[in-house]
Structure 1
Amino acid sequence: MADASRLTETVQEVLRSLGVDPRLTEGGNRPVRSPLTGEIVAHVHDSTAQEARAAIGSAHEAFLQWRKVPAPRRGEFVRLLGEELRAAKDDLGRLVTIEAGKIVSEGLGEVQEMIDICDLAVGLSRQLYGLTMGSERADHRLQEQWHPAGVVGVISAFNFPVAVWSWNAALAFVCGDAVVWKPSEKTPLTALAVQALVERAARKFGPDAPQGLSRVLIGAREVGEVLVEDARVPVVSATGSTAMGRIVGQKVAARFGRSILELGGNNASIVTPSADLDLALRAIAFGAIGTAGQRCTTLRRLIVHESVYDTLVASLKRVYASVSIGNPLESDALVGPLIDEAAFQGMQKALAEARAAGGKVQGGERFTEGVSANAFYVRPALVEMAGQTGPVVHETFAPILYVLKYSTLEEAIALQNGVPQGLSSSIFTTDMREADRFLSATGSDCGIANVNMGSSGAEIGGAFGGEKETGGGRESGSDAWKAYMRRQTNAINYGTAMPLAQGVKFDIDAPAEDKGSANA
């Protein structure tokens, strides 16, 4: 196992390679710990409230200039950013692993997601389309335009420390907005690295990229509150817990701003009698165990038909007992650490509640073999429950999979929908009627509904987000770009008459001199 000083040296080497000013990560008041070993690898400087307001002011001034740059030209800036991300993929992906604890392929995959959204945004820069509509008035035309909204505030969580920013920022940049980013206080190093890449792309882009176009605010809740409450930030995208979203949503709404909320996800998969169980097993394992259960789309509830329950659960128990756990920088383990001790304690509390409710728990204990004693590795937990009560209804950000049994599809869908959250869902079936029922208006009530795949692993081409206590926000693909712009409806009169809509009559006699000038 690598010693403590070596990991810190690795972090500094990676930060230097990415172009991060050493002064930003040394001598600060906030320690940054790697979940891989639990050690402090850097000290960053928290932004003060005054610095946060100044950053917002700088971003607002940048927006006033950036909105004048043609959208395809703005797309060129995002293309350059994508090229910087391609060149830095290995280093940035490694930093994601060190700071968030993801296995190496997931760290690299997160950076690839950033590259992909940049590619999507470049194409989008030439397709910020509006509509032309027929008018009820003769010689009139109605049209719809989309204009830049202003400064977009982005509040991201530790589990996707860079990808969520890119979903917002790449779209915001091509839409003509500036971006102020408050990353999780648990993962500030990746944010500073991304900012360095943005600045590198801006230098290559030239003077059309104004100072302040992208800013990063490091700190805890107090810094986020400045961003949320500032009227110069018309759009706030916040990813995190439902409790956090309630606060953000209310504060932004109080000043008539707009929120894009990506909150809790108590996701479920239904396994029907006709399911391909081998396929389902692979999808369930990644969905429930991947990222140590720390994805918003992590599979947390498995609803299995009684006819295949024993077979599937037996296979899952073997997978759970044998899955590899360890430091992803030193092994090819599939499960890395939880982010910190608080996450471990939350997991243990949920498992205790499950046992008290009659649940049969396999796994869930702390894993210590060959890993640092200061880090929090765990065995994923498989919990068989008689009913959907207690901890099953809540989301615990850890690798806990609750398994429930069902008899009819109607019962399964009711269980799937019977929680406050509504992010992601899936069904495993080879029956076309079951699949279509699940995707219908009487099926899953989630923002994401998949067939013959797990709940986790969304592509950037589709809009990402959920319903109910998930917040209702949408990011990434499809028409999610509209959230970063303001809509304007135009009516154009190209005739000489002045008809009013709905047949309203308001005729006046123009003074003679006006009639004369009109005919001149």
Structure 2
Amino acid sequence: MVRGALSGGGSGSRSGRSRGRRGTGREPVRGSVRGARSGSLSGRPSPAAAMSTLLINQERYAWLRELGLQEENPGVYNGRWGAAGRCGVVTTYCPANNEPIASVRQVSADYEETVKKAKEAWKVWADIPAPKRGEIVRQIGDALRQKIKVLGSLVSLEMGKIFVEGVGEVQEYVDVCDYAVGLSRMIGGPILPSERPGHALIEQWNPVGLVGVITAFNFPVAVYGWNSAIAMICGNACLCVLKLAIISGMKLIIAKVLEDNKLPGAICSLVCGGADIGTAMAKDERMDLLSFTGSTKVGKQVALMVQERFGRSLLELGGNNAIIVFEDADLNLVIPSALFAAVGTAGQRCTTARRLFLHESIHDEVVTKLAKAYAQVRIGDPWDSDTLYGPLHTKEAVKMFLDAVEQAKQQGGSVVCGGKVINRPGNYVEPTIVTGLPHNAPIVHTETFAPILYVLKFKEEEEVFAWNNEVKQGLSSSIFTKDLGRIFRWLGPKGSDCGIVNVNIPTSGAEIGGAFGGEKHTGGGRESGSDSWKLYMRRSTCTINYSKDLPLAQGIKFQ
């Protein structure tokens, strides 16, 4: 069973007008996680009482209904909404106060019907010229853009991101739609010179067929967008699986666009399910490509099941990312970069900086300055415009944070700041800096999805480049230096072995136009820009003989 593979979400809307405090697009819709009524009751609440505690039923969260959300939302979309094979209900909670937002029906029997409908819808979609497919994706992006503020509010509410990050995530989906529109007129292969007279070699690219997308909780909208927008312009149908209510709203937007263009809704299907659905997708021969974003542990299970049937997988897994600061670095860039990379999204990005290597000559100075910067981080309500740092996603994440801090202490580390749970409702922990550990300490080599930064000393370039590469993952890395030779050594074959190799910027903050992904236990997959579109297509080399002769291989001749 694929455990934990399906925690994630997305958002969208078919109708409704977002309402802001100032209408600027930079403020959330009305409502706040502060002062919300508690949903914890003694004993087992009655169904009516349970429904009354849902945030969606509170006046300050009435805007959720503008997104088409209900107390209990259907868990399948394959051209119609439903849940014939219902096998439970998943309730989604607000991490800032741990109160229930709404629920989604999980399904099982609907999976088979949904795959069949998606494969049928693909036959229609694949026949549409790529530029016309790009026009549909453009309309999806425009529809998302019109709802960006209310969708960002929902991301913030359900994932716990600060509001500006919630909006930014929806913007990533919009941006990749814009990118995909241009790409739809460029996908294809070259005409190659043949060594035989009267012959031509053509590289032909066709869609793989059905692309399954299992996204993650921390970037549910963006990851779905990176995959679906590119997959769609390549001519594929998509089936997304995750567990948050946010995706139901987002599917309403996409469904409306497809309906308006008289296209099958199953081109973009949705199933809400648990490990049984994830396992079924991984083993399903009809799943022509399975894109999985999540932990390395679960990713290995997915990869093995897909490989057993010689299927295709696109894996975007964990990262134990490092920033290296040399003695000639501009500390005015280093401090905010390290801060943003380590505490952004409360340390729950796959590109979060978890290791900070400092040259021994500047170690103490940087630690002092960084600790002062940490002390100024504004922690609070994700919807408050002054907040920089919100909660962890779940109570389990808080426990993992505390366990990691304790292990760091036991292995010889010193907590410079943070290390504790914050005494307030929700899953808040203090952003934490740990010093004094060796580069190869077990906890340093462990990816903890929390705001813990291990600060480590180094002396020489060669050793620190090796330390950057010694962890199992290979997602993102960055150095801060003014030495041009060092920069190009960092970019070269003996430099960073990561998929993202930065200079004088943080480990996080990748742009749409570049391919996103990493090496080693990060999975090797690439999403978003550059030539990542090739992963969503199959390539054929075609030899065309337009002559009257038949030259054979290896000089063979028939008499």
TM-score > 0.5 by shorter chain: yes
Match of 2:49 in 1: none
Question: Is 1:381 aligned with 2:381?
Answer: no
Match of 1:159 in 2: 218
Match of 1:511 in 2: none
Give the C-alpha shift of residue 2 in structure 1.
2.3
TM-score by length of structure 2 reads: 0.87
Give the C-alpha shift of residue 224 in structure 1.
1.0
Match of 2:106 in 1: 46
CA distance in 1, matches of 2:465, 2:104: 47
Give the C-alpha shift of residue 20 in structure 1.
4.2
Deviations 1:457-508 (A, max 9, x none): 1011000000000000000000000111111110000000110133233x15
Write the mapping of 1:189-338 to structure 2, written as runs, cut at 5 A: 189-204=245-260, 206-207=261-262, 209-330=263-384, 332-338=386-392
Which structure 1 residue ranges, 4+ long, deviate > 6 Å from structure 2? 25-28
Greater shift, 358-367 or 163-172, is seen at 358-367
CA distance in 1, matches of 2:211, 2:335: 41
User: What letter is aligned with 1:14?
Assistant: W
Write the mapping of 1:43-442 to structure 2, written as runs, cut at 5 A: 43-48=103-108, 50-183=109-242, 185=243, 188-204=244-260, 206-207=261-262, 209-330=263-384, 332-361=386-415, 362-368=417-423, 371-372=424-425, 375-388=426-439, 389-442=441-494
Say if 2:91 and 2:104, in contact at 8 Å, map to a contact too. yes
Say if 1:265 and 1:395, in contact at 8 Å, map to a contact too. yes
User: What letter is aligned with 2:482?
Assistant: T
Give the C-alpha shift of residue 30 in structure 1.
1.4
Match of 1:512 in 2: none
TM-score by length of structure 1 reads: 0.93
Say if 2:433 and 2:455, in contact at 8 Å, map to a contact too. yes
Say if 1:19 and 1:197, in contact at 8 Å, map to a contact too. no
Give the C-alpha shift of residue 166 in structure 1.
0.3
CA distance in 1, matches of 2:528, 2:316: 12
Pair 1:10–1:166, CA change in 2 (3 A): farther
Greater shift, 450-459 or 126-135, is seen at 126-135
RMSD over aligned Cα, in angstroms? 1.6
Greater shift, 291-300 or 13-22, is seen at 13-22
Say if 1:52 and 1:227, in contact at 8 Å, map to a contact too. no
SS at match of 2:213: strand
CA distance in 1, matches of 2:476, 2:198: 48
Question: Is 1:24 aligned with 2:73?
Answer: yes
CA distance in 2, matches of 1:449, 1:352: 31
CA distance in 2, matches of 1:278, 1:339: 31
Say if 1:25 and 1:42, in contact at 8 Å, map to a contact too. no
CA distance in 1, matches of 2:353, 2:413: 18
Deviations 1:131-153 (A, max 9, x none): 11111111100010110111100
CA distance in 1, matches of 2:248, 2:414: 44
Give the C-alpha shift of residue 7 in structure 1.
4.0
Say if 1:137 and 1:501, in contact at 8 Å, map to a contact too. no
Give the C-alpha shift of residue 260 in structure 1.
0.5
SS at match of 1:366: coil
CA distance in 2, matches of 1:437, 1:303: 17
Give the C-alpha shift of residue 211 in structure 1.
3.1
Give the C-alpha shift of residue 322 in structure 1.
2.7
Say if 1:292 and 1:398, in contact at 8 Å, map to a contact too. yes
Deviations 1:232-279 (A, max 9, x none): 111000000001110111111111111110001000010001100011
Deviations 1:270-328 (A, max 9, x none): 00011000111011100000000000000000000011111101011112223111121
SS at match of 2:502: strand
Give the C-alpha shift of residue 14 in structure 1.
3.4
Say if 2:55 and 2:100, in contact at 8 Å, map to a contact too. no
CA distance in 2, matches of 1:473, 1:480: 9
State the aligned residue count.
Answer: 497
Pair 1:178–1:12, CA change in 2 (3 A): farther
Deviations 1:497-520 (A, max 9, x none): 110133233x15xxxxxxxxxxxx
Say if 2:346 and 2:451, in contact at 8 Å, map to a contact too. yes
Greater shift, 281-290 or 495-504, is seen at 495-504
CA distance in 1, matches of 2:552, 2:68: 60
CA distance in 1, matches of 2:526, 2:59: 36
CA distance in 1, matches of 2:60, 2:130: 37
- What stretches of structure 1 of length at least 5 have no aligned partner? 509-520
Q: Flag the structure with higher helix content.
A: 1
Identity %: 47
SS at match of 1:200: helix
Say if 2:54 and 2:99, in contact at 8 Å, map to a contact too. no
Say if 1:11 and 1:95, in contact at 8 Å, map to a contact too. no
User: What letter is aligned with 1:140?
Assistant: H
